[in-house]
A and B are shown apart, each in its own frame.
Chain A
Amino acid sequence: DAGVTQSPTHLIKTRGQQVTLRCSPKSGHDTVSWYQQALGQGPQFIFQYYEEEERQRGNFPDRFSGHQFPNYSSELNVNALLLGDSALYLCASSLGGCGRCGDEQYFGPGTRLTVT
């Protein structure tokens, strides 16, 4: 049973460019959350997708957008990259719509984005 997978592993982009990160959830999971982890910090919630819609969003600008496909995989897009967008981007999957189920979020290995 494959866990959460993310691609690519590493990515180097230039300021002003656009980037797309990809995530495949753990088998059986229908909800995908994205987090940004700056160096030396804890992860910060970007947004969550459930049933192909953005269900909740953190305090991130509109340059950050996402998409969820019918197979529950997800993409994170960042436009007009800034140096401050350099971080580890983590994807987590879970079984949505059941806040008291206690099903934890399973994390992928992350994509390390460097903006130069």
Chain B
Amino acid sequence: AQTVTQSQPEMSVQEAETVTLSCTYDTSESDYYLFWYKQPPSRQMILVIRQEAYKQQNATENRFSVNFQKAAKSFSLKISDSQLGDAAMYFCASRLTQGGSEKLVFGKGTKLTVNP
């Protein structure tokens, strides 16, 4: 069974600074995807970044990057130059790659506050 754990219920960061959100996961499969989703107060879940487990290179999307440690089953999100608009709930999620199994398994989320 897949499980995703986010151990930080809340985090805060000063505007323009860097923050790292933690995520650990567990799966018996060797091939899977990992995601970070952002959910602002508007409730719409928005994909921030995606990592394919078979790729060793860490994914980067503008100010967002991940530190993917496959052996440790760790997948942290780093937000650089934090902006007020980054304030939201952040969810880590995993998905297997086998066809017909696209279920996302989410962690409980981390609430990020950005202080001006």
A residues near B, CB below 8 A? 31, 33, 35, 40-45, 48, 50, 55-56, 58, 88, 90, 92, 94, 96-100, 102, 104-110, 112
Contact = CB atoms under 8 A, between A and B. Distances in A.
Contact of A100 (B4, B97, B106, B108): B97
A90 B39 CA distance: 12
B47 interface: yes
Query: 8 tightest A-B contacts by CB?
Result: A42-B106, A107-B45, A99-B99, A99-B97, A45-B103, A110-B43, A100-B97, A109-B44
Interface in B93-114: 93, 96-109
Contact of A44 (B31, B42, B106): B106
* Interface residues of chain B: helix, strand, loop or mixed (majority): loop
Contacts, number: 73
Chain B interface bracket (under 10, 10 to 19, 20 to 34, 35 or more): 20 to 34
Given A43-B45, A88-B43, A108-B44, A99 B104 contact: no
B35 A104 contact: yes
19 contacts: A33-B104, A40-B108, A42-B4, A42-B6, A42-B108, A42-B109, A43-B45, A43-B104, A56-B100, A56-B101, A56-B102, A88-B43, A92-B104, A94-B102, A99-B96, A99-B101, A100-B97, A100-B99, A112-B43
A98 B44 contact: no
B91 A42 contact: yes
